[in-house]
Amino acid sequence: MNKKVQLQDLGNKDYKATWDYQEELFAKVVAQKKLKREDPSIETDNYFLYVEHPHVYTLGKSGDFSNLLLSEKQLEAKGATFHKINRGGDITYHGPGQIVGYPILDLENFFTDIHKYLRFLEEAVILTLSEYGLRCERSGGETGVWLGVGTPFARKICAMGVRASRWVTMHGFALNANADLGFFDNIIPCGIKGKAVTSMHVELGGPVDAEEVKEKILKHFQTLFEAEMVK
């Protein structure tokens, strides 16, 4: 089993171009898995992509289009784009100030359990935020990372949506670090009414060092997945 994970930081990159790149890597890993059936010595690759997107709204395959509260003209006026995509979950927003991570893993190199995979991604973020004094947790039946669960002030700080096929993953998580939360007013985030969205800079009262946050996430990801990050 290959536990090496190739880290790539794509910087600020268009959503559709990044999605196409994910699909390319996903197809490559699936092809390696097919060859591995005939030659067990073949190793399958794993990737972890960091990226920041220009303003974009994405809707998961089971999502409700009515959760987007903007017309096509209004989207254009805000400099945002929209894509219906092949991950799980409903609608979400990506944009500047947000840390987006896309692990493309062959889970057969780690464990074959999608539920555990999602919980580990959440845990990597929860442990990271705890280093900043933020007490975050899961909300029953709602994927992602939250503050104030069980109170009238419940708010989501990190959204998650993944796709997995043949035990190969794509898509991932989006952590609001220094994000402009005003863009969430144009959607019903994740299709969940009556719950707010927050960001690290709001909770901490000032901007955070995104590169430092990314390093902390990787540290916890490596520990949880018993992985080795390589550049």
Read off the CATH number of the domain in which 153 is found.
3.30.930.10
Q: Which residue out of 136, 190, 213, 218 is catalytically annotated? A: 190
User: In this predicted model, which residue has the larger pLDDT, 195 or 166?
Assistant: 166
Q: What is the mean pLDDT of residues 179-198?
A: 76
| Residue 36: band (very low, low, confident or very high) from pLDDT cuts 50, 70, 90 | very high
- Known binding residues are 87-94, 159-161, 172-174
Q: What is the pLDDT of residue 194?
A: 56
- The CA radius of gyration of the chain, in Å to the nearest whole number, is 17
Q: Residues 158-180: pLDDT tens digits?
A: 999 899 999 999 999 999 999 99
pTM of the model: 0.92
Q: What is the pLDDT of residue 182?
A: 87
Q: Copy the structure tokens of residue 89.
A: 């979950």
Active site residue 136: no
- pLDDT above 90: residue 39: yes
Q: How many domains in the chain? A: 1
Q: Which of 95-109, 133-147, 184-198 has the highest mean pLDDT?
A: 95-109
Q: Residues 59-98: pLDDT tens digits?
A: 887 777 787 888 778 888 888 988 888 887 778 899 999 9
Gap between the Cα atoms of 204 and 25, Å rounded: 36
- Residue-wise burial string across 185-210, b where 16 or more C-beta atoms lie within 10 A, e elsewhere: ebbbbbbbeebbbbbbbebeeeebeb
3-state secondary structure of 31: helix
Q: Please give the order of strands across the beta sheet that includes 56-59.
A: 81-84, 56-59, 91-94
Q: Which range of residues forms the domain containing residue 179? A: 4-230
- Known binding residues for substrate are 87-94, 159-161, 172-174
